Amino acid sequence: MAVAEGMKSHTKYLVFDTKKRREYIRLTDDVKDFLDESGIKEGFILVSAMHITAGVYINDWENGLIKDIDEWLEKLAPVNPDYHHHNTGEDNGDAHLKRILINHQVMVPVTEGKLDLGPWEQIFYAEFDGQRKKRVILKAIGI
């Protein structure tokens, strides 16, 4: 796809191994480094999980809140052997539902060469069926 004159685009894939089935990984510094690499001063960065059992969200980096989010997701989409998805031989129906609740991506504004996040906002990758290699795509578009 052509980018309008003066516009730039930059893409990078973050690859990492998750250690637990459910895990919350802070990506803010990775996204800041990516912004620096991109050279974009005004625009947006898309941060998107490339797995159907993971999501990306923005919230406070506070351990109690992360635990609250995890417990809330578990109440809404509990680990349960009775999901129809499990009839396929899978055991991760809850992970697919948790991803819908968290969402799979966020768009972060870039202003004057900086991530334009609120004072407590941090970017997180939320894993719900981990313990293997995972990817996140970062895509910056701007000037």
Torsion of CA 68, 13, 49, 21, to 10 degrees: -60
Residue 3 pLDDT > 80: no
Asked whether residue 83 is assigned to any structural domain, the reply reads yes
Asked whether residue 113 is assigned to any structural domain, the reply reads yes
Residue 4 pLDDT > 80: no
Q: Which domain holds residue 102?
A: 8-142
Report whether 92 contacts 83 (CB < 8 A).
no
CA quadruple 140, 62, 68, 70: dihedral sign: positive
Confidence bin at 5 (pLDDT 50/70/90): confident
Which pLDDT score is estimated for 1? 55
Please give the Cα distance from 125 to 118 (Å, whole number).
18
Lookup: tokens for 26: 């802070």
Please give the Cα distance from 122 to 136 (Å, whole number).
16
Each as own residue / partner, the long-range contacts of residues 66-75 (CB below 8 Å, 24 or more positions apart, any chain) are 66/24, 66/124, 69/24, 69/126, 70/22, 70/24, 73/98, 73/101, 73/102, 73/128
Which pLDDT score is estimated for 2? 62
Which pLDDT score is estimated for 81? 82
Asked whether residue 1 is assigned to any structural domain, the reply reads no
Number of structural domains (the chain) is: 1
What mean pLDDT do residues 65-88 have?
Answer: 95
What mean pLDDT do residues 50-60 have?
Answer: 97
Residue 21 pLDDT > 60: yes
- Work out the angle between the directed axes of helices 63-76 and 93-102 (0-180°, nearest 10): 120
pTM score over 0.75: yes
Asked whether residue 110 is assigned to any structural domain, the reply reads yes
Asked whether residue 98 is assigned to any structural domain, the reply reads yes
Q: What is the CATH number of the domain that holds 41?
A: 2.60.120.460
How does pLDDT run across 77-129, given as a tens digit for each residue?
A: 999 889 999 999 999 999 999 999 999 999 999 999 999 999 999 999 999 99
Q: What percent of the chain has pLDDT over 90?
A: 94
Asked whether residue 3 is assigned to any structural domain, the reply reads no
